[in-house]
């Protein structure tokens, strides 16, 4: 039905414009809200990445600094030299017997070997071990190190805290590809100021073939000559402390630590059993290992689009890519939940604006319609027609008073 009344048109137009304005504002607000919430999500994964990177670096640096202090101690130099000399003086048979008692078939169970101060031989080595072992056991406990190795110039482990199967072994000969052997070789090959040798994480057979990593520093004699090295095993090769200290991950969040070979170093949250086994090659891992610090959206190893913060850390010659990720779909669910509430409020607001606008339009249109009717009466010869709204101070009142003047003029002329 065609609308003929101008007043009705005005009311409808104002109500429509108010509704459209409310919806437009809601749409702009929704777009802004989406950007803000997505930015907050990206900031969260970035905070996690930064926390993990800082935690790993601090953990390794703390171990290095503790080891450096130990290797520079005159007491350590004396104990290292004493034990090395006493072990070297053992005959092959006596050495084999000693190793067997501490770490072989005749030894205590592996879990109890660190508590053994002496195995009851009359050797000088056993006497010195009884004197020094408690100090280094306490050192390992305080640093939470799984083990500590004293290695002579030729690469033989002549002392260890835990007395595992690497005790008494020549690392370059019998465990040549092991991380302990690589760390030892790098440590004794170094020059002042003795940059620490750090091995990347790898499976280590004396560690039950579980992942391990070592930091090593050379030991020098009074003249500055290298007489061996001390290796300390890192306490947390799955980086649990760094991950626990980071802000909370989302339901689909995880942190990946990837080596230069793209093999993941930690245990991914959604790919158990992948540590040191699975290669993860994505746009994120490539760019992280290239040293890029960024926020990215890309397809992860599960085929999911993720919001990710990437970076890299360099630890004494070893680079790891650090990636904090969260599925984009999880953030979208959270964002859309907020937007649904916002849109519902926007619709309610639009209706309120439409109603208020309609009442306002009606408050203007109704007097105009009434005055228009009065004008029609006057034009039709009804000079006694009552003119309303003459007491108003707005434009409606001025128009009404103008009609009064018009009516008086009609009366005088008639």
256 phi and psi angles, rounded to 5 deg? -115, 135
Name which of 17, 5, 1 is nearest 354 in CA terms: 17
Q: Stretch 129-157: mean pLDDT, rounded?
A: 96
Asked if residue 15 has pLDDT above 60, the reply is no
Going through 208-317 in order, the beta strands assigned E by DSSP cover 210-212, 214-220, 226-233, 254-259, 294-299, 305-315
Q: What is the pLDDT of residues 368-388, one digit of tens each?
A: 777 777 777 767 776 677 778
Rg of the chain, C-alpha, whole Å:
41
Q: Is the pLDDT of residue 16 over 50?
A: yes
Kindly indicate the confidence band of residue 153, based on its pLDDT and cuts at 50, 70 and 90: very high
Q: Please report the pLDDT score of residue 2 as a whole number.
A: 46
C-alpha distances (whole Å) from 21 to each of 6, 197, 357 are: 22, 67, 11
**Mean pLDDT within 127-148:** 96
How many angstroms separate the CA atoms of 332 and 347, rounded?
A: 22
Quote the mean pLDDT of the chain.
85
What's the pLDDT score for residue 181? 97
pLDDT confidence tier of residue 19, bands split at 50, 70 and 90? low
pLDDT in tens, 221-241: 888 889 999 999 998 887 887
The sign one gets for the Cα dihedral 266, 269, 272, 274 is negative
* Percentage, residues of the chain above pLDDT 90: 57
User: What pLDDT score does 194 carry?
Assistant: 77
Q: What is the mean pLDDT of residues 334-353?
A: 66
Helix extents (H) in 291-388: 328-379
Q: How confident is the model at residue 152 (pLDDT cuts 50, 70, 90)?
A: very high
**pTM attached to this predicted model:** 0.76
Instruction: Provide the 10 A C-beta neighbour count for residue 311.
Output: 20
Report pLDDT for 329: 85
Q: Which CB contacts under 8 angstroms, 24+ apart, belong to 159-162?
A: 159/83, 159/87, 159/129, 160/103, 161/114, 161/133, 161/136, 161/137, 162/110, 162/113, 162/114
Per-residue exposure over 276-305, b if at least 16 CB sit within 10 Å of its own CB, e if not: beeebebebbebbbeeeeebbebebbeebe
- The Cα 364–Cα 134 span in angstroms is 96
Crossing angle of the two packed helices 6-72 and 328-379, in degrees rounded to 10? 160
Q: Using one digit for the tens of pLDDT, what is the confidence trace for 177-188?
A: 999 999 999 999
CA distances from 247 to 191, 266, 287 (A): 40, 18, 23
In tens, the pLDDT along 294-303 reads 999 999 999 9
The reported pLDDT for the residue numbered 330 is 81
Q: How far apart are CA 385 and CA 371, in angstroms?
A: 11
The reported pLDDT for the residue numbered 86 is: 97
- What are the tens digits of pLDDT across the range 74-93? 999 999 999 999 999 999 99
pLDDT at site 372 = 76
Number of residues written out for the chain: 414
Alpha helices in 214-327 (DSSP H): 240-245, 283-289
**Structural domains present in the chain:** 6-36+335-413 (no CATH), 38-59+242-331 (3.30.450.20), 65-233 (3.30.450.20)
Find the mean pLDDT for residues 40-67.
92
Number of H helices, E strands in the chain: 10, 11
6 pLDDT above the threshold of 60: no
Give the strands of the sheet with 294-299, arranged side by side.
254-259, 318-327, 305-315, 294-299
Question: How many Å apart are CA 414 and CA 397, to the nearest integer?
Answer: 26
Q: Find all residues with CB under 8 Å of 106, minimum gap 6, and list them.
A: 100
For residues 37, 38, 43 and 45, what is the CA-based torsion angle, rounded to 10 degrees?
120
Distance, in Å, from the CA atom of 138 to the CA atom of 134, rounded to the nearest integer, reads 6
- Of 221, 87, 193, the closest CA to residue 149 belongs to 87
Q: Please state which of the ranges 51-55, 319-323, 399-403 shows the lowest mean pLDDT.
A: 399-403
* pLDDT tens column, 269-286: 888 888 899 999 999 999
């Amino acid at each position: 039905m065609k609308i003929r009344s101008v007043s009705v048109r005005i009311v409808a137009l104002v109500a429509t414009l108010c509704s459209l304005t409310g919806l437009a504002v809601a749409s702009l607000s929704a777009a802004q809200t989406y950007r803000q919430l997505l930015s907050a999500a990206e900031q969260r994964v970035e905070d996690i990445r930064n926390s993990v990177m800082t935690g790993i670096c601090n953990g390794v640096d703390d171990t290095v600094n503790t080891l450096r202090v130990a290797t520079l101690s005159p007491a350590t130099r004396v104990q290292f030299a004493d034990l090395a000399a006493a072990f070297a003086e053992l005959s092959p048979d006596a050495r084999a017997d000693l190793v067997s008692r501490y770490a072989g078939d005749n030894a205590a169970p592996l879990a109890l070997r660190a508590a053994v101060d002496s195995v009851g031989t009359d050797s000088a080595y056993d006497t010195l071990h009884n004197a020094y072992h408690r100090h280094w056991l306490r050192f390992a406990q305080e640093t939470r190190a799984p083990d500590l190795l004293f290695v002579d110039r030729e690469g033989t482990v002549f002392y260890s805290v835990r007395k595992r199967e690497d005790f008494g072994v020549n690392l370059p000969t019998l465990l040549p590809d092991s991380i302990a052997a690589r760390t030892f070789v790098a440590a004794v090959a170094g020059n002042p100021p003795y940059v620490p040798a750090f091995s990347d994480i790898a499976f280590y057979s004396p560690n039950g073939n579980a992942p391990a990593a070592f930091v090593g520093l050379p030991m020098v004699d009074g003249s500055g000559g290298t007489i061996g090295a001390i290796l300390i095993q890192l306490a947390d090769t799955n980086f649990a402390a760094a991950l626990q200290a980071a802000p909370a991950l989302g339901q689909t969040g995880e942190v990946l630590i990837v080596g230069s070979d793209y093999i993941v170093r930690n245990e991914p949250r959604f790919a158990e059993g992948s540590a040191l086994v699975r290669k993860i090659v994505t746009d994120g891992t490539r760019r992280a290992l290239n040293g890029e610090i960024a926020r990215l959206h890309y397809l992860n190893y599960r085929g999911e689009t993720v919001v990710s913060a990437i970076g890299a850390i360099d630890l004494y010659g070893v680079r790891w890519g650090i990636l904090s990720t969260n599925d984009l779909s999880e953030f979208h669910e959270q964002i859309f939940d907020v937007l649904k509430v916002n849109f519902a409020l926007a619709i309610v607001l639009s209706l309120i604006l439409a109603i208020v606008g309609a009442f306002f339009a009606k408050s203007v249109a109704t007097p105009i319609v009434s005055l228009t009717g009065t004008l029609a009466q006057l034009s039709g010869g009804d000079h006694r027609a009552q003119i309303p709204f003459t007491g108003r101070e707005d434009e409606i009142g001025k128009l009404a008073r103008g009609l009064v003047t018009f009516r008086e003029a009609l009366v005088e002329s008639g």
